[in-house]
Amino acid sequence: METPLVFNIQKYSIHDGDGIRTSIFFKGCPLKCAWCHNPESQHYQVELMFYDSRCTGCGSCVSHCKKGAISIEGGKAVTNRALCNACGDCTDWCFQSAREVAGKTYTVDQLVKEAEKDRMFYENSGGGITLSGGEVMVQDMDYIEAVCKKLYDKGYSVDIDTCGYAPYENFKRILPYVDTFLYDIKAMQDEVHQKFIGTSNQLILENLIKLNEDGAKINIRIPVITGVNATEEFMIDVISFLKEHNISVKQVNLLPYHNTGMHKYKKLDRGYDEEALLGVPSAEQMEQFKALFVEHGYQNTKIGG
Ligand code: SF4
Ligand code: SF4
């Protein structure tokens, strides 16, 4: 497999596990969540992002594209995506920072070195490094295992933020080096999962059971979305599943859906399914869901990451 692409390294992250963390986002995901607010995370290839509002139409990028993919139309640069190979040459010539490439490779040592830059924060806050995505568990596992092991050997806490949709042997490989799995549950009924996420949830639930049996520490993360799963019935289904399989949960995180990332689809000249009619749950609903988990014994339930 090819070296995984990183599309973002977020410093000082306080929503992706314990303490202050550096979150590393890998590019490419096997799921197609209707509410995904990180479209640059979905594909496994390097992509050009264009910030329309920053473009002055100066034309500097046009002559530096060897593919002839850029033209100026209506005072703005327009990229022919069929010609563009995301080489990034044009980004060096845009002084408005209107063009950016999403997806960069790091060697294992480079990535570890980057993560280590904030070690003072980890030490003082009980934090560490979180590998996220996209989906980290479907990347080249030789690479991911090497990153996890190296960070673990240096004494850092490594969390894995995962959708769970990956072969279990991938989880097994990194289990010894991982502090906590931040494990998403989005829909319990298979047909709902298929409708809004594009796959069955069977593998995801099976992997969760196996991880628990293998002694992993698990935070359950639920993106709460009106029109998909913002119901008491769904929350009860999750609780019943966790109890039925004796899943030991370190923390439950209820993550209210927000639609602030939808403008990013435009930056990739990609559409967003507005028909999906997804909504933001109210603060009152979120408190009710939290109370439900607490009532059933999950005292460590938080709204947010
Ligand atoms: S990324 Fe490369 S191919 Fe695409 S528009 Fe820029 S220079 Fe042209
Ligand atoms: S160089 Fe930047 S600002 Fe100038 S036309 Fe190209 S994208 Fe727009």
Taking only the tens place, the pLDDT of each residue in 164-206 is 999 999 999 999 999 999 999 999 999 999 999 999 999 999 9
Residue that finishes a domain, picked among 102, 118, 136 = 102
Average pLDDT, the chain: 94
Phi-psi region of 171 (alpha: psi -120 to 50; beta: other; left: phi over 0): alpha
Confidence band, pLDDT 50/70/90 cuts, at residue 242? very high
Containing structural domain, residue 214 = 6-44+107-303
Q: Is residue 178 part of a domain?
A: yes
pLDDT at residue 276 is higher than 60: no
Domain count, the chain: 2
Nearest-atom number in ligand 1 for the CA of 101 is 1
pLDDT at 82 (0 to 100): 95
Same domain for 36 and 152, yes or no, is: yes
Q: Which two tokens stand for residue 225?
A: 């979305």
pLDDT at residue 293 is higher than 60: yes
- The ligand that comes nearest to the alpha carbon of residue 267 is 2
Across 286-295, average pLDDT: 98
Return the ∠ at Cα 149 (arms to 148 and 155), rounded to 5°: 95
Across 208-237, average pLDDT: 97
Across 89-117, average pLDDT: 97
pLDDT at 36 (0 to 100): 85
- The ligand that comes nearest to the alpha carbon of residue 96 is 2
Q: Which residues line ligand 1 (CB under 6 A)?
A: 48, 65, 67, 69-70, 79, 84-90
Between the CA of 32 and the centroid of ligand 2 the distance, in Å, is: 31
Contact present, 128 and 88 (Cβ < 8 Å)? no
- Residue 55 CB less than 6 A away from ligand 2: yes
pLDDT at 274 (0 to 100): 60
pTM (2 d.p.): 0.92
> How distant, in Å, are the alpha carbons of 96, 132, 188, 218, 273 from that of 212?
49, 20, 18, 8, 35
Q: What is the pLDDT of residues 121-162, one digit of tens each?
A: 999 999 999 999 999 999 999 999 999 999 999 999 999 999
Nearest Cα neighbor of 90 from 132, 59, 123 is: 59
Q: Is residue 1 part of a domain?
A: no
**The total number of residues written for the chain in this structure:** 305
Between the CA of 100 and the centroid of ligand 2 the distance, in Å, is: 11
Atom 8 of ligand 2: nearest residue by CA position = 55
Between the CA of 47 and the centroid of ligand 1 the distance, in Å, is: 10
Q: What is the pLDDT of residues 19-45, one digit of tens each?
A: 999 999 999 999 998 888 888 899 999
Contact present, 28 and 3 (Cβ < 8 Å)? no
Atom 3 of ligand 1: nearest residue by CA position = 84
Distance CA 282, CA 267 (A): 29
pLDDT at 34 (0 to 100): 85
Q: Which two tokens stand for residue 190?
A: 């298979």
Residue that finishes a domain, picked among 76, 102, 128 = 102
Nearest-atom number in ligand 2 for the CA of 93 is 1
